[in-house]
């Protein structure tokens, strides 16, 4: 593997000259340089971080995107690729001295192949649009992030997105069969195809979740699944989050794998009921949504088993959706949890970490204590089945110091995830948001390997620089402030 090349000191080229060169091969409205045109691109879904891009380009074709990259490579200009802008870790945060490469015009569904059960797509195709296109053939695309109505498949691949059904059907990485991507010097590379596996190193998995640091994805082939014959949701209420967490571990330990297993605490329940009229029990400390799918007979048998497991773990109420309308109503509540909380909070900071399921109850209790310590409310909404937490920290950006306090609080939640044997992200990526916590989870030797891997794809370090993988100097500074002798400074975490 090639080692990182020293990145030469860079003098920013003349902006007008670069814009003229780009306009030689891009459409007239495909090069943006005026502030009012650049402003919509200053952040992604993580709105707490904002930077005005230097130049934004909107190519129509792969060839145009390739020429953008070649030009930037020749002139030593960094590039950030951007999809729908729904990411929540600042992965598409632009650079004040770089080009933002928007793929928003790449919206064609190139092929739906029912015989191979695949779909081939441009990166700007919305997640939900894949299932809508495949539905007449009795097929669908399984990964379903809560933002699926807006998020794009290219961004899903870059962040390895999940969704409420990832417990049974996997994350994006488990549903992608092939990719085409551009290197920083504009070369088009194809990985995989329509087969389930390909020879050599698993570069397909490497690109999935790489956050735009290794290449710019321009085409994706995903697998489609037959729509289940029948599906039903069990809603279980609990009088404590600890009991709900223990119930999750019990369901998984039984060997029974639901298609989805989600959890919400009381704060989230009340917010969702007011916003989406989901019909959740308002007084419950926590609820679980457990979906089963398959044949009608399989689902009916499974409902009986799950009901017994949940009641055995102290559920105060267990009820199954009576029809398809109620099943969709239950899920609509869960998928609208973020806007529901946003309706009652001036601002919220959405975290994303993953823990072993057996620690769910303990970790939620610890988050509650941290909430009191920081004086900031938290709504907990997450993919309980795979231990992927999404605490929403409520704050007011107009109040001095509250954003900084929310960020510190969020960092401690991530470090808590690491302390119990988990990880700092499940599906949102690292971006700029969690880059300090990478120093907690990984050793300097491991981070050096990450940098060497990036150098093999991007020797000059021009693709999405400053994201996901911290430099040694950053970790050294963070360590001096935060981590001592390899141990976290927060005593409440050390007991895990």
Q: What is the pLDDT of residue 494?
A: 44
Q: What is the pLDDT of residue 433?
A: 94
For residue 8, being part of any structural domain is answered with no
For residue 335, being part of any structural domain is answered with yes
pLDDT tens profile 106-152: 999 999 999 999 999 999 999 999 999 999 999 999 999 989 999 99
Which residue's structure tokens are 């707490």?
Answer: 48
For residue 10, being part of any structural domain is answered with no
- Write down which residue in 339, 363, 395 finishes a domain: 339
Q: What angle do CA 353, 357, 362 make, to 5 degrees?
A: 80
| 273 lies in the same domain as 381 | no
For residue 55, being part of any structural domain is answered with yes
- In DSSP notation, 93-161 reads ---TTSEEEE-TT---EEEEETTTTEEEE-TTSBHHHHHHHHGGGTEE-----TTTTT-BHHHHHHHT-
| 63 lies in the same domain as 168 | no
- The Cα 333–Cα 87 span in angstroms is 21
**26 to 23, 66, 98, 189, 383: CA distances (angstroms):** 5, 11, 17, 22, 42
| 478 lies in the same domain as 354 | yes
Backbone Cα Rg of the chain: 23
**186 to 73, 120, 342, 367, 431: CA distances (angstroms):** 8, 21, 40, 45, 23
| 356 lies in the same domain as 486 | yes
Element (H, E) at 119: strand 118-121
- Write down which residue in 81, 102, 123 finishes a domain: 102
For residue 257, being part of any structural domain is answered with yes
- Write down which residue in 174, 202, 226 finishes a domain: 226
| 367 lies in the same domain as 457 | yes
Q: What is the pLDDT of residue 15?
A: 96
- Burial state string for 277-287 with b = 16 or more CB within 10 A and e = fewer than 16: ebebbeebbbb
| 385 lies in the same domain as 487 | yes
| 221 lies in the same domain as 282 | no
Euclidean distance between the first and final Cα of the chain, in Å?
A: 38
pLDDT tens profile 237-255: 999 999 999 999 999 999 8
Q: Decide: residue 253, CB within 10 A, 0-12 exposed, 13-18 middle, 19+ buried.
A: exposed
| 481 lies in the same domain as 354 | yes
* Token pair belonging to 191: 């990985």
| 240 lies in the same domain as 362 | no
- The Cα 135–Cα 140 span in angstroms is 6
- The Cα 185–Cα 50 span in angstroms is 28
Report the 10 Å Cβ neighbour count for 6: 8
Q: What is the pLDDT of residue 478?
A: 84
Element (H, E) at 196: none
| 175 lies in the same domain as 241 | no
* Token pair belonging to 22: 């780009």
Structural domain including 277 reads 230-339
For residue 6, being part of any structural domain is answered with no
Q: What is the pLDDT of residue 198?
A: 82
- The Cα 16–Cα 245 span in angstroms is 57
| 478 lies in the same domain as 416 | yes
Q: How many domains does the chain have?
A: 4
Q: What is the pLDDT of residue 488?
A: 45
Q: What is the pLDDT of residue 415?
A: 96
- The Cα 161–Cα 173 span in angstroms is 8
For residue 167, being part of any structural domain is answered with yes
| 260 lies in the same domain as 393 | no
- The Cα 230–Cα 225 span in angstroms is 14
- Here the CATH number for the domain that contains residue 155 is 3.30.465.10
Q: What is the pLDDT of residue 487?
A: 42
* Token pair belonging to 281: 């029990």
What is the pTM for the complete model shown? 0.92
- The Cα 77–Cα 6 span in angstroms is 15
- Here the CATH number for the domain that contains residue 79 is 3.30.43.10
Residue ranges of the chain with per-residue pLDDT less than 50: 1-6, 483-496
β-sheet bridge partners, residue 139: 226
Q: What is the pLDDT of residue 245?
A: 92
Residue length of the chain: 496
For residue 48, being part of any structural domain is answered with yes
């Amino acid at each position: 593997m090639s080692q990182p090349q020293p990145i030469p000191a860079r003098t920013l080229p003349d902006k007008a000259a670069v814009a003229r060169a780009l306009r030689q091969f891009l459409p007239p409205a495909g090069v943006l340089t005026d502030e009012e045109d650049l402003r919509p691109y200053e952040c992604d879904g993580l709105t707490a971080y904002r930077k005005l891009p230097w130049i934004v380009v909107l190519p129509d074709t792969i060839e145009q995107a390739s020429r953008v990259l070649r030009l930037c490579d020749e002139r030593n200009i960094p590039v950030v690729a951007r999809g729908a802008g729904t990411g929540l870790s600042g992965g598409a945060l632009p650079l004040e001295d770089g080009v933002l490469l928007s793929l928003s015009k790449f919206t064609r569904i190139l092929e739906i192949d029912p015989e191979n059960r695949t779909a081939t797509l441009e990166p700007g195709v919305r997640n939900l649009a894949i299932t809508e296109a495949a539905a007449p053939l009795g097929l669908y695309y399984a990964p379903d992030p809560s933002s699926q109505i807006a998020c794009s498949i290219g961004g899903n691949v870059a962040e390895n997105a999940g969704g409420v059904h990832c417990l049974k059907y996997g994350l994006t990485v488990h549903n992608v069969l092939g990719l085409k991507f551009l290197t920083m010097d504009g070369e088009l590379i194809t990985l995989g195809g329509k087969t389930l596996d390909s020879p050599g190193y698993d570069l397909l998995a490497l690109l999935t979740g790489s956050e735009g640091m290794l290449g710019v994805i321009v085409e994706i082939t995903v697998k489609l699944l037959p729509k289940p014959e029948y599906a039903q949701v069990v809603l279980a209420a609990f009088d404590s989050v600890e009991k709900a967490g223990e119930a999750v571990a019990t369901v998984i330990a039984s060997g029974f794998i639901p298609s989805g297993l989600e959890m919400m605490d009381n704060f989230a329940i009340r917010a969702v009921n007011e916003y989406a009229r989901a019909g959740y029990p308002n007084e419950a400390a926590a609820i679980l949504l457990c979906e089963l799918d398959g044949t009608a007979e399989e689902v009916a048998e499974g409902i009986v088993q799950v009901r017994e497991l949940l009641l055995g773990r102290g559920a105060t109420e267990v009820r199954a959706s009576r029809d398809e309308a109620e099943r969709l109503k239950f899920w609509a509540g869960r998928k609208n949890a973020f806007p529901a909380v946003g309706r009652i909070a001036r601002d919220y900071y959405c975290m994303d970490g993953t823990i072993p399921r057996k620690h769910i109850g303990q970790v939620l209790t610890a988050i509650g204590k941290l909430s009191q310590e920081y004086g900031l409310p938290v709504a907990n909404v997450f993919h309980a089945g795979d231990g992927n937490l999404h605490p929403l920290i409520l704050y007011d950006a107009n109040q001095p110091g509250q954003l900084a306090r929310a960020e510190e609080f969020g960092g401690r939640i991530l470090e808590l995830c690491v302390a119990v044997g988990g990880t700092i992200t499940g599906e949102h990526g690292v971006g700029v948001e969690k880059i300090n916590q990478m120093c907690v989870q990984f050793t300097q030797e491991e981070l050096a390997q990450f940098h060497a891997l990036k150098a093999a794809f991007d020797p000059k370090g021009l693709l999405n620089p400053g994201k996901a993988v911290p430099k040694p100097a950053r970790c050294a500074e963070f360590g001096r402030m935060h981590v001592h002798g390899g141990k976290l400074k927060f005593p409440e975490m050390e007991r895990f």
